[in-house]
Amino acid sequence: MAPATHDALPVLDRSGDTPLHAQVAAQLRGYIRANKLAAGAALPSEAALCERFGVARSVVRQALAALAAEGLIQRESGRPATVAAPQEHRRLVQRSTGLYEQFAQSGVALQTRVLAFARAEPPAEVAEFFGTPQLLLLERLRHVADAPLAYVRTWLAIDTVPGLRAEDLADASLHGVLTRRFGLRPGAGRNQIRAVAADARLADLLATPAGTPLLMLQGRGMDQHGRPLEWFTTWHRAEQRVFDVDVSVGHESVQPRLQAPPDAAPDAPGTPDGQDPLARAQALVAELSAELARLRGQR
């Protein structure tokens, strides 16, 4: 494959305090994602990048090393760097441990930005679950290597988390904070997977086109005493997410359902290949259902 043209690469802003190699890495990262370069696509050579950005080869090599460490590109001596195949991030959907803990256990650094943290009026079903409308709404955006991965909306009972602040949850595990500060540990619960198409807000938050298929995980969890702890909904970018399910002989705790959201528009924007985005997302969940059926048949 011929090297991708570098004419469109933006010029560095040299007026800031950010190191040049970090700027070059950020520009290349954005270029790869904005142009949706496929795995194997070649980047410009080191010499071409030096010329394009007006920097020394050592700066370019530092930038490429950072992208390689993220898993975004692959490097071979004597050849231009190429775009790496997307890394799959896996999650066990029937575990009470959250996304942060599961990623940490696999060695992946998950970044968390708190978008909102305030008292809010909950939907009727959420208030019924907690037995009170006195709830906090927490909204977070989670990244891996600066790439948006998931948007999370969580409800918590106000009286169970006195003094909790938004800054306590930046780049942190909610479950870890609840355990350390309030003695609350996640216990039993129920999770549900749905296939949805990204609306305008989700598309903006997750840096994906409107109508793109997303995997939505919704759950309600109790604490170790059997009391309501959290109600959460997480929208995942689907192209790099895999939901794993452990199926045991004695108990199967995950029951995926294919269900379009009631407000889904029948004429939602199509995906680039012309396939209905919701159908594509539902197909992803159908694969999970089929695997469950196969495992049941082996028992």
Per-residue pLDDT of the chain (299 residues; tens, 9 = 90+): 344 444 555 667 777 677 888 888 888 888 887 777 888 899 999 999 998 888 999 999 998 988 887 677 888 888 889 887 765 444 444 444 444 444 444 445 578 899 999 999 999 999 999 999 999 999 999 887 667 888 999 999 999 999 999 999 998 889 889 999 999 998 888 888 888 999 999 999 988 888 888 888 898 999 999 999 999 999 988 765 555 555 544 444 444 443 444 444 433 344 444 556 566 566 666 666 665 555 555 55
Show the tokens assigned to 145.
Answer: 């290597």
pLDDT at 148: 83
**pLDDT at residue 290, rounded to an integer:** 60
Q: What is the pLDDT of residue 109?
A: 59
What is d(CA 211, CA 197) in angstroms, rounded to the nearest whole number? Answer: 5
Alpha helices per DSSP H over the chain: 20-34, 46-53, 57-70, 99-105, 124-130, 174-182, 200-205, 277-297
- Where are the domain boundaries for CATH 3.40.1410.10 in the chain? 89-297
> How far apart, in whole angstroms, are the C-alpha atoms of residue 139 and residue 32?
28
Q: Please give the model's pTM, rounded to 2 decimal places.
A: 0.54
**Is the CATH number of domain 20-83 1.10.510.10?**
no
Query: What pLDDT does 293 receive?
Result: 57
pLDDT of residue 146: 67
The residue whose two tokens read 């410009």 is 44
Is 89-297 a domain of CATH 3.40.1410.10?
yes
Q: Measured between alpha carbons, how far is residue 129 from residues 29, 125, 151, 193, 218 in Å?
A: 43, 6, 22, 19, 14
- Phi, psi at 267, each rounded to 5°: -115, 45
Residue 156: predicted pLDDT:
97
Q: CATH 1.10.10.10 spans which residues of the chain?
A: 20-83
Which of 223, 217, 194 lies closest to 130 in space, CA to CA? 223
**Which residues are CB-contacts of 290 (< 8 A; sequence separation ≥ 6)?**
none
Query: Measured between alpha carbons, how far is residue 164 from residues 134, 180, 221 in Å?
Result: 15, 12, 19
Contact in structure between 228 and 130 (CB atoms under 8 Å):
yes
